[in-house]
């Protein structure tokens, strides 16, 4: 068994299509979007057996932060990390880690940042020198087991049905994006929402590339509209899964309406109906705090699990390859621990600012 850089795109696609653990973010389509949008170098790795058959893949990019280069699997994604055939997990993981360490050390790359669903495979990448961030996960829904009709009648509370029915009763409509003008409209809504929550919006070019490369087969947008557009939800589609990823809201318009209008859950419900109509079985609601502390984090989680989805814990493993990176990772660990202990002392907006700045450092 050995590890090498990607050579055959067809082999990668075939392995990904056959793997139950593969996601849209592991696809070569996503690789092209990231390559065209950001100045990062791709490092996509394949693990092969003695017969040169792929038994695992690990997509990633070389990025820079604080004058350091690091390997990230996968940036701008709700999922990441290696996808390996279950029977090869231990051997392939050990080989992959060794390859990444050797490659990065030779290229002056300070550390690796790899995201895992917490299923045991992450243990092969950990050591006492590593820093592990377990602050996030994803919420997933299987509408094959819990179809929309069951969710509506058996999972929703009366207040949930009432809030969704209010939109339809008051004349709001849901439509799909169909033109580049719709993309421009969504980006405006998305930027407003990111500014409101104190987060950095991705550049317009990123969304242009999604549209140019992925629409309509793998990327689309749903809008909720009355006389004006109230909000939008952009999502990816890969096989039987849709990934609800970017939310846009007209905050001024939303604030002028009654509190009874809860836009995000209505858009999520519309996406579930869209998934059923288009023969998709799984909905991923995206990155979600594992242990929400602030009111906004609790709302984020509750708006996703209200549909009957389940939370899947993730771990991001930071593997240092030099003393400088090790020192910074240890410093981050201490700052994060202190920040959690003092969270209740600072205003929510200040907490968010500190977390974002730490995120940019690592």
Interval 339-350: pLDDT, tens: 555 555 555 555
Is the pLDDT at 338 greater than 90? The verdict is: no
Provide CB contacts within 8 A for 326, sequence distance 6+: 129, 320
Contact indicator for 338, 142 with CB cutoff of 8 Å = no
Q: What is the pLDDT of residue 346?
A: 53
Provide the terminal-to-terminal Cα distance of the chain, rounded to the nearest Å. Answer: 32
How far is the C-alpha of 337 from the C-alpha of 295, rounded, in Å? 20
The domain segmentation of the chain, as residue ranges, is 2-134+316-361, 139-312
Query: Average pLDDT in the 147-151 region?
Result: 97
How far is the C-alpha of 66 from the C-alpha of 86, rounded, in Å? 37
CATH code of 2-134+316-361, in short, is 3.40.630.30
Structure tokens at 166: 């209010």
Enclosing H/E stretch for 330? helix 323-341
pLDDT one-digit tens code per residue, 291-321: 887 777 888 888 888 999 999 999 999 999 9
pLDDT one-digit tens code per residue, 49-91: 999 999 999 999 999 987 889 999 999 999 999 999 999 999 9
pLDDT one-digit tens code per residue, 170-189: 899 999 999 999 999 999 99
Report the topology of domain 139-312. Answer: Aminopeptidase (3.40.630)
pTM for the whole structure: 0.90
How far is the C-alpha of 142 from the C-alpha of 324, rounded, in Å? 44
Instruction: Answer yes or no: same fold for 2-134+316-361 and 139-312.
Output: yes
Provide CB contacts within 8 A for 97, sequence distance 6+: 124, 125, 319
Contact indicator for 293, 299 with CB cutoff of 8 Å = no
């Amino acid at each position: 068994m050995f590890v090498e850089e990607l050579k055959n795109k067809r082999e990668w696609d075939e392995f990904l299509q056959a793997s139950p653990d593969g996601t849209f973010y592991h696809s070569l389509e996503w690789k092209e979007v990231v390559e065209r949008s950001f100045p990062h170098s791709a490092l996509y790795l394949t693990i092969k057996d003695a017969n040169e058959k792929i038994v695992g893949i690990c997509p990633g990019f070389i990025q820079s932060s604080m004058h350091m280069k690091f390997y990230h699997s996968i940036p701008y994604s709700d999922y990441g990390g290696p996808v390996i055939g279950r029977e090869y997990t231990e051997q392939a993981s050990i080989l992959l880690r060794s390859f990444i360490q050797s490659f990065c050390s030779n290229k002056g790359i300070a550390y690796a940042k790899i995201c895992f669903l917490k299923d045991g495979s992450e243990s092969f990448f950990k050591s006492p020198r590593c820093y592990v961030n377990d602050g996030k996960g994803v919420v997933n829904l299987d509408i094959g087991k819990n179809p929309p009709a069951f969710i509506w009648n058996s999972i929703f509370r009366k207040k949930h049905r009432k809030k969704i029915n209010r939109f339809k009763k008051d004349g709001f409509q849901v439509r799909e994006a169909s033109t580049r003008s719709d993309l421009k409209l969504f980006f405006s809504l998305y930027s407003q929402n990111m500014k409101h929550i104190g987060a950095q919006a991705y550049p317009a070019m990123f969304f242009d590339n999604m549209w140019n490369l992925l629409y309509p087969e793998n990327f689309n947008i749903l809008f909720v509209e009355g006389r004006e557009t109230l909000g939008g939800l952009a999502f990816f589609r890969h096989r039987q899964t849709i990934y609800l990823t970017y939310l846009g809201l007209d905050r001024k318009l939303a604030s002028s309406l009654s509190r009874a209008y809860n836009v995000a859950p209505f858009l999520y419900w519309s996406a579930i109906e869209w998934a059923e109509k288009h023969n998709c079985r799984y909905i991923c609601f995206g990155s979600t705090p594992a242990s929400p502390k602030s009111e906004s984090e609790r709302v984020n989680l509750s708006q996703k699990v209200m549909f009957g989805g389940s939370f899947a814990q993730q771990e991001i493993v930071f593997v240092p390859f030099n003393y400088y990176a090790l020192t910074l990772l240890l410093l981050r660990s201490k700052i994060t621990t202190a920040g959690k202990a003092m969270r209740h002392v600072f205003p929510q907006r200040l907490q968010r600012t500190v977390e974002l700045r730490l995120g940019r450092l690592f």
